[in-house]
Amino acid sequence: MAQGSFISERDLIKRISTILGSIVNDDCAVLDSGDRYLVATTDMLHRKSDFPEVMTPWQIGWMTVAVNLSDVAAMGAEPSGVLVATGIPQGTDLAFIDNIFSGFSDCTGAFGTRVLGGDMDSTDELNLTGFAMGFVEKDLILMRSGASPGDILCTTGTLGAAGAGLLQLQMGEDKGAFVKNLLEPVPKIKEGRALALSRSVTAMMDNSDGLALSLSDLSEVSGVGFVLKEEAIPLARGIEEAFGRDKGLELAVRAGGDFELIFTVKPSRIEAASKAVDLTILGHAVEEGLWMETGGKMKRIEPSGYEHSVMTSASS
Amino acid sequence: MAQGSFISERDLIKRISTILGSIVNDDCAVLDSGDRYLVATTDMLHRKSDFPEVMTPWQIGWMTVAVNLSDVAAMGAEPSGVLVATGIPQGTDLAFIDNIFSGFSDCTGAFGTRVLGGDMDSTDELNLTGFAMGFVEKDLILMRSGASPGDILCTTGTLGAAGAGLLQLQMGEDKGAFVKNLLEPVPKIKEGRALALSRSVTAMMDNSDGLALSLSDLSEVSGVGFVLKEEAIPLARGIEEAFGRDKGLELAVRAGGDFELIFTVKPSRIEAASKAVDLTILGHAVEEGLWMETGGKMKRIEPSGYEHSVMTSASS
């Protein structure tokens, strides 16, 4: 009898890893390339999951490149090129296609790289799959592994703006103040490089799936836990006023799409890290568990956030 | 008024190149990587265009990797890793997904490389977008540019088997002798490397879109023409018996999916090339035009073959 069941993206990846052999669980794959590492990543974006109707084709192009570059940033690498495979529905306006490509071009250009090539196909649903590469010195690469208990947990920027943007879209507020944060993510290339060069960071990743899920990934790969101090969470400007503190915190911890860098720093090197980027200390690494500390009280954090799930049918 | 019109993949790519800046028209993008070049390519495959219903999930996985590795082979490079972004429809059987990944794993393994990572998403249509990378010594890289009039035009293997397989599928002969040639393409990694190491080749590409269209691309990038000798075309074994010589020739020249290497050789180096791989001389490069020579008579070849077209609407 065939039965339907949902399997999360993360569980499916674990299942598949047993078929493919060990897959490094990091923002990018890492390859030896002489005196440097080559890092490479891919992200598939498509109409239903990633491109709300309100999004312009330029934003669609920008986002496709940005989310891939964010993975390169998370390794401390310098981007060296992007490829994009574009599946375009029949009947798409040529101007729409042009604007998608302008988005590709503007986002690569803004971060010092370019589109080197790609593939083009005709698909029912708009599907843009990006592929970004970068290089990083071998002694500077930053991975998800490497955090130790006692390390200081930090983030770049502020949190929750993208989630607030999604909320505004869901409420029909297409012109809401946070919508642009959701639709035009900014990869932290400069910040990632500066942190790598500061030699102060022990582990890093981007928070594209939300802070809680990212901490869960970092925790699993590094073999540590984290204490997150509620009062330290840097809410994006205006969120508390618009949605209240509780909702703001929920967005900052659970919602995806912020594309900030989450990283751990050796306590003795926190000054070097602070000089490299504008950072906020969120808490610290501990032996195990994910904890929220509120007014001295500790509570477990559920590792949930933005995650694709795939409905599969398993024969039983 | 909006009007529907078809634009070919090649024309759309030309249009987009003006937005993105110069895109090298080759099998792979090429990046400087110290003492070697890094080559990188992407191919998007999806259910409607690329995966006939008769195809097993293992074959779907194999093909996705194979078509990307073929582009790496065409540069004379050694593959160093593959990423795959997989868009899987809701309700897909877990065993089906497992078998796709076994296909990825077996095809990468067969050619000395592996899947390093990827992305997973839930899409309406099965969409597998592969990315392959490789390295090649700077003085050995083979590109589409470089052919000169007088160079000898060659191919690896035989031609037409994949086209014959498609024809059999269209005739409902799912178990036809040529179907496997279509569904399980073999990237010519070993042959590409041997040709690069032979230092005898002036230009190279794969013939995935068919011989005529590949010659047209090679001709455009190298700025030469080609004379193809009809009697020299190596028809795949059994094609003439199954479909007659005329249909066989048409399949060999027009049909896509063979994934052989088409290349040009300096006349003085043809012996070195012949020692490197089992090759067939198809003709030679001339100043201009694509020509078929049949019994001493020359006829122009139309540069058509397997090509995606995208229906767009242009406002007028």
Among candidate residues A114, A137, A160, the one where a domain is terminated: A137
Residue B48 lies in a domain: yes
Min Cα distance B293 → chain A (Å) is 33
Residue A316 lies in a domain: no
Q: Is residue B18 part of a domain?
A: no
- Residues B94, A31: C-beta atoms closer than 8 Å: no
pLDDT given at position A10: 75
Judge whether B7 lies within some domain. Answer: no
Kindly tell me if the per-residue pLDDT of B315 is higher than 60: no
What residues pair up with A298 in beta bridges, in sequence order? A293
Q: What is the mean pLDDT of residues A244-263?
A: 96
What confidence category does residue B32 fall into, taking pLDDT thresholds of 50, 70 and 90? very high
In a domain, A100, yes or no: yes
Write out pLDDT tens, residues B267-279: 999 999 999 999 9
Does residue B178 or residue B302 have the better pLDDT? B178
* Same domain assignment for residues A301 and A156: yes
* pTM > 0.80: yes
Mean pLDDT, residues B12-41 taken together = 89
Total count of domains within chain B:
2
Q: Under an 8 A CB cutoff, do A94 and B124 touch?
A: no
Place of tokens 């027009």: B254
Q: Could you please report the per-residue DSSP string of B78-140?
A: EEEEEEEEEEE-TTEEHHHHHHHHHHHHHHHHHTT--EEEEEEEE-SS-EEEEEEEEEEETTT
Q: Where residue B87 sits, what CATH number does that domain have?
A: 3.30.1330.10
pLDDT band with cut points at 50, 70 and 90 for residue B312? low
State the residue range of the domain holding A200.
152-309
- Looking at A137, A165, A198, the residue that finishes a domain is A137
DSSP chain B: -EEEEEEEHHHHHHHHHHHH-----SSSEEEEETTEEEEEEEEEEEHHHH--TT--HHHHHHHHHHHHHHHHHTTTPEEEEEEEEEEE-TTEEHHHHHHHHHHHHHHHHHTT--EEEEEEEE-SS-EEEEEEEEEEETTT---SS---TTPEEEEES-BSHHHHHHHHHHTT-TT-TTHHHHHS----HHHHHHHHHHT-EEEEEE-TT-HHHHHHHHHHHHT-EEEEEGGG--BPTTHHHHH-HHHHHHHHHH------EEEEE-GGGHHHHHHHS-EEEEEEEESS-EEEEETTEEEEPP---S--EEEEEEE-
The mean pLDDT value of chain A amounts to 93
**Residues B97, B175: one domain?**
no
Please give the average per-residue pLDDT across B100-120, as a whole number: 96
Confidence of residue A12 (pLDDT cuts 50, 70, 90): confident
Residue B308 pLDDT greater than 80, yes or no: no
- Looking at chain B, the whole-number percentage of residues with pLDDT higher than 70 is 94
Cβ A114–B20 below 8 Å, yes or no?
yes
In a domain? residue B5: no
Instruction: Tell me, yes or no, whether A169 and A249 share the same domain.
Output: yes
Cα–Cα dist B255/B248, whole Å: 10
B60 within a domain of the structure (yes/no): yes
pLDDT of residue A310: 54
pLDDT the model gives residue A314: 47
**pLDDT tens figures, A227-237:** 999 999 999 99
Q: Phi/psi class of residue B150: alpha, beta or left (left: φ > 0; alpha: ψ in -120 to 50)? A: left
Window 156-185 of B, Cβ < 8 Å to A: none
**Cβ density class A180-195: b for 16+ within 10 Å, e for less:** ebbbbbbbbbebbbbb
Domain boundary among A110, A137, A164: A137
Q: Report residue B157 as tokens.
A: 């293997």
Q: How far is CA A35 from CA A40, A200, B98, in A?
A: 16, 21, 36
Which chain A residues have a beta carbon less than 8 Å from that of B314?
Answer: 93-94
Based on the fold, state whether residues B244 and B284 are members of the same structural domain. Answer: yes
For residue A315, pLDDT beyond 90: no
**A184 and A289 both lie in a single domain:** yes
Q: CB A105 to CB B21 under 8 A?
A: yes
pLDDT for A313 equals 57
Looking at the fold, whether B127 and B252 belong to one and the same domain comes out as no
Nearest chain A alpha carbon to B20: A105
A22, pLDDT greater than 90: no
Tell me, yes or no, whether B119 and B156 share the same domain.
no
Question: If you search the block for the tokens 């809701």, which residue do you land on?
Answer: B90
Say whether both A156 and A304 belong to one domain: yes
CB half-sphere exposure, B7, CA atoms < 13 A:
22
DSSP A41-78: EEEEEEHHHH--TT--HHHHHHHHHHHHHHHHHTTTPE
Residue pLDDT, tens place only, B138-149 = 999 999 999 999
Predicted local confidence at residue A1, as pLDDT? 36
Tell me the chain B residues in contact with residue A107 when contact means C-beta distances shorter than 8 Å: none
Q: Which pLDDT score is estimated for B1?
A: 36
Token pair of A255 as six digits = 């919602």
User: What is the DSSP secondary-structure string of A130-155?
Assistant: EEEEEEEETTT---S----TTPEEEE
- Residue from A47, A51, A314, A124 nearest B47 by CA: A124
Measure B102 CA to nearest chain A CA, in Å. 6
The ipTM (two decimal places) reads 0.92
Do residue B252 and residue B291 come from a single domain? yes
B248 assigned to some structural domain: yes
Does residue A177 surpass a pLDDT of 90? yes
Model confidence band, residue A278 (pLDDT cutoffs 50, 70, 90) = very high
Q: What is the pLDDT of residues B211-242, one digit of tens each?
A: 999 999 999 999 999 999 999 999 999 999 99
Torsion of CA A153, A155, A161, A162, to 10 degrees: -90
Instruction: Fill in the DSSP letter of residue A235.
Output: B
Q: Which CATH number goes with the domain that contains A156?
A: 3.90.650.10
Min Cα–Cα distance to chain A from B164, Å = 23
Q: Which of B77, B88, B86 is nearest to B41 (CA)?
A: B77
Please, what is the average pLDDT of chain B?
93
Q: Is the pLDDT of residue A82 over 80?
A: yes
Instruction: Please check whether residue B47 is in contact with residue B125, taking contact to mean a CB–CB distance below 8 angstroms.
Output: yes
Q: What is the pLDDT of residue B126?
A: 97
B165 plus B133 within the same structural domain: no
State mean pLDDT over B80-103. 95
What pLDDT does B2 receive?
42
For residues A31 and A80, state if they share a domain.
yes
Say yes or no: B105 and B167 in one domain.
no
